[in-house]
Amino acid sequence: MPTAFVLINTEIGSENEVLEKLKTVEGVEEAFAVYGVYDIIARVKADTMDRLKEIVTWRIRRLDKVRSTLTMIVVEGQK
């Protein structure tokens, strides 16, 4: 099952608002507000790579107050 971690920059002061919206997006397994270069990190899973790309491109990146994202697709995981 394709998985990715999406690092998200938001507009200043809108981290919690974006975090709450992310939790309603299908495929977002977890999302956390973090300190550092990025404001939020989300773990996204989908049935196919095409669906994963669709979630990131059309659902996450288009959320209001999301300024930029960096997507890291998992190559190998640990159970």
Q: For 3-69, what is the HEC assignment? A: EEEEEEEECCCCHHHHHHHHCCCCCEEEEEECCCCCCEEEEEECCCHHHHHHHHHHHHCCCCCEEEE
Entry pTM: 0.92
pLDDT in tens, 5-63: 999 999 999 999 999 999 999 999 999 999 999 999 999 999 999 999 999 999 999 99
Domains of the chain: 1-11+36-79 (3.30.70.920)
